[in-house]
């Protein structure tokens, strides 16, 4: 009988083969059920023999634990952006520069589609995918390895055991984009503006399981770093990528001279809409890598490549009016109401105007003829005005929220204005969810679907109504999905939340620019919410973490009538508005803790909150001030640093056992 190691190896190879047939070639050879059975068998074997689990196993595509945050990592080779050209003349100018620099007339170019997605860098060691980064600022990117592992078109193991770093573009196809947006609309969330935004938003989610549900894809387009010079041309590079099992966009062409490049660009500009993914131009690269090396880079971009951007589709129509929408965050967005017009095969009657400054800068007036542009966006935009002698009516941005009438506030240095009403119906669902979230009042049972249901049934008409839900006890039990136990659990959680610490309440109020850290500082400084409400600008600016922008936001927030009414109702409900003096042991008083790796029974946020409540100070970086390093699974570089500094360490298992003694405080 074959040993389990051989079985695991065979299953991994078989699943990898079927992944490639299904996700890359779109030519599956087995049914979904048969595939699931193979994966199930592998999971069972790896569960029985965990020492055989490797990073390239198909079972490791989705991490079990959500991330707390992304780590910043420096690129080994910069990820520079390309210079853009917007016309054939500019493309010819690029070619003339190349001719002059290389001193030759005929230049070979590889012309590729410019995928409208998010740039990433993938690192392979001995053929195994070990790390993936975003572009970031070109020098430093976010480590999104766990999220990238969920993308089925990224092989976890190459067909050769080589060391390689490649660059590519992650994208969401058009069909999945429409599905994701419909799901968001169903949850009363704003839809993504375009496939690029949807992709970027997905890659920066902290829970890889949710990323996996977005069904992202990738095309690999260029080499970052190789262990040796194994390619001579860009066209060879793309073919070798395919041999390695990497997915390359099939639409590229080796062109002899700039005229062939121009023809290929114009060909794709006409038929780009037939693709299943969005493209916004073409990328033109010198084919020979030796010539690329000779031309080198400017500070911002390579001299040997350029992007040719397709012309956005535009039309002219009449601006009939402007309405102002209030989003779930309270942001006010002006929307143009247009005389309906056909654009890119779609009838357009609305377009975004972005913000107040954009309207003024472009001098857009009601009744004007305006130029509307649609370039892959769900909501088109007004890009300019057709000036005439007879101008329309100047639009005045509202000083009060069009939904609830509260004062509109524009933070210093920001282009957007916000409704200040804490009970604004447009923001109510989001505010309740945030108020009840784990890092705030921690009311278990008030998730998205329940909040939607309670708001739509009229049980929650403003934030403070949470503490009067007990009046609907019997009615709630009769609702679909509810029962006596679930109602009792919710009521108990609401009652418990009344005694949360002041910093949690300050954070839960959702004061613009005030997060959990600033909330803790404010709680320590002012001790009670009433005292914070009367704090002056000077008093606030004395605090190290508070600058003019944050101070202004705090003062403005507590000056609003809706805020004062909310605080009064919370006090009446019995919610703690002052600092709670500890009535329990403080074993970690004055000690600084750092956590590395993942914990089994706590998120990092939960553990850090318990440390604070026990008198300790959690920190994100190891230093000489660190008193103890908590070592979880897959620890990072913090462990080596702690060892070098002689800082004591404790396994997370022991530390979690210690924390459980104090969970109920």
Q: Which residues are the active-site residues?
A: 114
- In Å, how far from its chain's centre is CA 599? 23
The residues near 323 (Cβ < 8 Å, ≥ 6 apart) are 334, 335, 337, 402
Strands 217-226 vs 252-256: parallel, antiparallel or unpaired: unpaired
CA distance readout (Å), 291 to 164, 227, 282, 287, 579: 21, 20, 20, 8, 67
DSSP 8-state symbol, 20: I
Take residue 11 and report the two structure tokens written for it. 């299953």
Residue 184 and residue 75: Cα distance in Å, rounded? 34
Q: What is the distance of C-alpha 341 from the center of its chain?
A: 34
d(CA 310, CA 91): 12
Among all chains, which residue has been given the structure tokens 């769900």? 378
Q: Cα 163 vs. chain centroid, distance in angstroms?
A: 29
**Contacts for 500 with CB less than 8 Å, ≥ 6 apart:** 441, 442, 576
User: What are the residues facing 549 on neighbouring strands?
Assistant: none
Note whether 45 and 18 are within 8 A (CB).
no
Residue 517 CA to residue 504 CA, distance in Å, equals: 10
What is the C-alpha separation between 635 and 640, in angstroms, rounded?
Answer: 9
- Which run of H or E residues covers position 501? none
Q: Which residues contact 1 (CB under 8 A, 6 or more apart)?
A: none
Q: How far apart are CA 478 and CA 572, in angstroms?
A: 28
- Asked if 318 and 338 count as a contact pair (C-beta separation under 8 A), the reply is yes
Contact 142, 72 (CB under 8 A): yes
Contact 60, 36 (CB under 8 A): no
Distance in angstroms (rounded) separating the CA atoms of residues 304 and 295: 6
The C-alpha angle 219, 298, 166, rounded to 5 degrees, equals 25
Pick the closest to residue 262 from 232, 314, 306, 298 (CA basis).
Answer: 306
Rounded distance, CA 164 to CA 220, Å?
Answer: 12
CA atoms of 119 and 111, how far apart (whole Å) = 18
> What stretches of 175-304 adopt beta strand conformation (E)?
217-226, 252-256, 279-286
């Amino acid at each position: 009988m074959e040993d389990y190691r051989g079985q695991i190896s065979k299953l991994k190879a078989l699943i990898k083969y079927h992944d490639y047939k299904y996700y890359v070639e779109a030519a599956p050879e087995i049914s979904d059920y048969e595939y699931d059975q193979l994966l199930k068998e592998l999971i069972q074997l790896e569960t029985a023999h965990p020492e055989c689990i490797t990073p390239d196993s198909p079972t490791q595509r989705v991490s079990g634990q959500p991330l707390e945050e992304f780590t910043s990592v420096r690129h080994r080779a910069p990820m520079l952006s390309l210079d853009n050209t917007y016309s054939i003349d500019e493309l010819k100018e690029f070619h003339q520069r190349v001719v002059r620099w290389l001193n030759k007339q005929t230049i070979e170019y590889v012309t590729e589609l410019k995928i409208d997605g998010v740039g990433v860098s993938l690192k392979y060691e001995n053929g195994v995918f070990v790390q993936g980064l975003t572009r970031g600022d070109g020098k430093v990117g976010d480590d999104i390895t766990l999220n990238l592992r969920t993308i089925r078109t990224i092989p976890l193991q190459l067909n050769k055991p080589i060391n390689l770093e490649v660059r590519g573009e992650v994208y969401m196809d058009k069909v999945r984009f429409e599905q994701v947006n419909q799901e968001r609309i169903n949850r009363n969330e704003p839809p993504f503006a375009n496939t690029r935004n949807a992709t970027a938003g997905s890659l920066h989610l902290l829970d890889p399981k949710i990323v996996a549900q977005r069904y992202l894809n990738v095309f690999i387009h260029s080499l970052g770093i190789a262990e040796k010079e194994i390619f001579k041309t860009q066209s060879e590079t793309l073919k070798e990528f395919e041999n390695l099992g990497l997915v390359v966009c099939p639409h590229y062409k080796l062109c002899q001279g700039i005229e062939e490049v121009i023809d290929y660009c114009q060909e794709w500009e006409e038929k780009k809409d037939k693709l299943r993914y969005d493209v916004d131009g073409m990328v033109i690269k010198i084919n020979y890598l030796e010539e690329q090396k000779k031309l080198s880079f400017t500070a911002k971009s390579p001299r040997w490549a350029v992007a040719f951007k397709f012309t956005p589709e535009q039309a002219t129509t009449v601006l009939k009016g402007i309405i102002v929408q209030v989003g779930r965050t309270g942001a006010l967005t002006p929307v143009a109401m247009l005389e309906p017009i056909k654009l890119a095969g779609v009838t357009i009657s609305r377009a975004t105007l972005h913000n107040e400054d954009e309207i003024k800068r472009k001098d857009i007036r009601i009744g004007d003829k305006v130029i509307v542009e649609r370039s892959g966006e769900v909501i088109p935009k007004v890009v300019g005005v057709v000036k005439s002698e007879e101008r329309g009516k100047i639009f005045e941005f509202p000083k009060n929220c069009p939904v609830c009438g509260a004062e509109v506030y524009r933070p210093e240095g920001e282009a957007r204005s916000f409704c200040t009403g804490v009970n604004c119906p447009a923001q109510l669902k989001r505010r309740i969810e945030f108020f009840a979230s784990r890092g705030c009042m921690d009311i278990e049972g008030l998730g998205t679907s329940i909040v939607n249901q309670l708001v739509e049934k009229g049980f929650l008409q403003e934030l403070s109504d949470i503490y009067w839900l007990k009046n609907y006890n019997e009615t709630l039990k009769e609702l679909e999905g509810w029962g006596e136990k679930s109602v009792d659990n919710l009521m108990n959680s609401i009652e418990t939340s009344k005694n949360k610490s002041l910093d949690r309440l300050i954070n839960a109020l959702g004061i613009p620019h005030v997060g959990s850290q600033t909330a803790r500082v404010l709680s320590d400084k002012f001790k009670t919410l009433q005292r914070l409400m009367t704090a002056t600008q000077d008093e606030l600016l004395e605090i190290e973490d508070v600058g003019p922008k944050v101070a202004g936001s705090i003062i403005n927030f507590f000056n609003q009538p809706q805020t004062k009414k909310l605080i009064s109702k919370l006090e009446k409900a019995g919610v703690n508005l002052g600092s709670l003096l500890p009535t329990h042991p403080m074993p970690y008083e004055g000690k600084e803790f750092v956590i590395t790796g993942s914990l089994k029974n706590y998120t990092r946020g939960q553990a850090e909150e318990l440390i604070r409540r026990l008198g300790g100070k959690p920190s994100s970086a190891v230093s000489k001030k660190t008193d103890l390093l908590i070592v979880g699974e897959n620890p990072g570089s913090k462990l080596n640093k702690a060892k070098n500094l002689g800082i004591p360490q404790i396994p997370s298992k022991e530390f979690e056992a210690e924390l459980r003694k104090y969970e109920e405080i």
